[in-house]
Amino acid sequence: MTMPLPMETNGSGTLPLKAPAFGLANYLICLKGVLVREGLRFLHQRERFISSLVRPLLWLFIFAAGFRQVLGVSIIPPYKTYVLYEVYITPGLCGMILLFSGMQSSLSMVYDREMGNMRTLLISPFPRWFLLVSKLLAGVTVSIAQVYVFLAVAWFWGVKAPPLGYLMVLPALFLGGLMLCSLGLLLSSMIRQLENFAGVMNFVIFPMYFASPALYPLWRIQESSPLLHKICLANPFTYVVELIRFAFYGQIDWMSLGVVAGFTVLFLGGAIIAYDPSRGLMTRKQDTGGNA
């Protein structure tokens, strides 16, 4: 894929009829454009940024403080000593940010589709899969930025991971964010109206979050409800949290890595198919409505 930049024109204000194919540089320009746009939108929506921070901080400052005495956490990998409950739930709260942010990006896709902005993206000459992956990467980048702001606040609160852990957790955040944003993308292809998004909150976000080791270790869940424990094991978010938790201590939980990678491929593949006009759900939606 090679092409000289800037694109050559024929001098008459139109692209040459036999224009060269897009090269790698053009793909990177497209990706950068989608990233910049997502970043600008995020900066313009300060409320979104603040609420994305307030949610996990409330859990850390209030919920964790209250439960510290009630919920004992035994020494379980990756921890080598007893840890404060605040330390235990921090990976789960990072996962919470990724989860909500992934769903937020799905919400913005539905909004864009309703408002017509989505068409601007979909009529780009780049392959549809590439546009969706670009959108996905933009969403993940914004999510990771939010996580690091949260971790900075938590650090000042006294919740600290090993210094190298802040770097080691980056790939885990990236992969976890990719999985959750892919899920959001897939869901956005199924949600016809913005109003239906409340259903996503109730049926996807909350069950995924609570049926996971984000707030309490799996062995505790198993003790109180074997059924819930099985549900937790079937929940892909469980593995995102564990992947992040181990990464903070410079370890790789291979099981979690495999599951998260597998679900990322599954969700992303589903979203690409769903947004493909010749194969996906968007095609089926054409058949049920639209302005003639």
Determine the Cα–Cα distance for residues 170 and 217; give it in Å rounded to an integer: 23
- Nearest-approach distance from CB 205 to other proteins, in angstroms: 25
Q: Report residue 9 CA to chain centroid gap.
A: 39
Does 277 sit near other proteins (CB under 8 A)? Answer: yes
Nearest to 114 by CA among 102, 106, 126: 106
Nearest to 138 by CA among 96, 182, 171: 182
**Would you say 234 or 287 has its CB closer to other proteins?**
287
- Contact stretch for other proteins (CB under 8 A) within 23-31, 67-75, 181-189, 212-220: 23-31
Does 179 sit near other proteins (CB under 8 A)? Answer: no
- Nearest-approach distance from CB 254 to other proteins, in angstroms: 38
Nearest to 172 by CA among 88, 95, 77: 95
Does 152 sit near other proteins (CB under 8 A)? Answer: no
Does 126 sit near other proteins (CB under 8 A)? Answer: yes
Residue 252 neighbours by CB distance under 10 Å: 14
Buried b or exposed e, range 195-219, using 16+ CB within 10 angstroms:
eebeebeeebbeebbebbbbbbebe
Does 53 sit near other proteins (CB under 8 A)? Answer: no
Does 1 sit near other proteins (CB under 8 A)? Answer: no
Determine the Cα–Cα distance for residues 129 and 134; give it in Å rounded to an integer: 9
Does 288 sit near other proteins (CB under 8 A)? Answer: yes
Among positions 5, 164, 167, 255, the unique one binding other proteins when judged by CB under 8 A: 5
Peptide bond before 236: cis, by omega within 30 degrees of 0?
Answer: no
- Secondary structure in 3-state letters for 9-25: CCCCCCCCCCCCCCCHH
Among positions 71, 83, 122, 252, the unique one binding other proteins when judged by CB under 8 A: 122
Determine the Cα–Cα distance for residues 113 and 194; give it in Å rounded to an integer: 9
Among positions 13, 80, 158, 202, the unique one binding other proteins when judged by CB under 8 A: 13
Among positions 62, 66, 82, 119, the unique one binding other proteins when judged by CB under 8 A: 119
**Would you say 14 or 69 has its CB closer to other proteins?**
14
Does 163 sit near other proteins (CB under 8 A)? Answer: no
| Burial (Cβ within 10 Å: 0-12, 13-18, ≥19) of residue 244 | buried
Among positions 2, 69, 74, 278, the unique one binding other proteins when judged by CB under 8 A: 278
Q: Which of residues 32-51 bind other proteins (CB under 8 A)?
A: 32-34, 36-37, 40-41, 44-45
Take residue 192 and report the two structure tokens written for it: 């016809």
**Would you say 43 or 201 has its CB closer to other proteins?**
43
Does 273 sit near other proteins (CB under 8 A)? Answer: no
| Burial (Cβ within 10 Å: 0-12, 13-18, ≥19) of residue 153 | middle
Binding footprint of other proteins on the chain (CB under 8 A): 5-7, 9, 12-15, 17, 19, 22, 25-27, 29-30, 32-34, 36-37, 40-41, 44-45, 115-117, 119-127, 131, 277-278, 283, 286-292
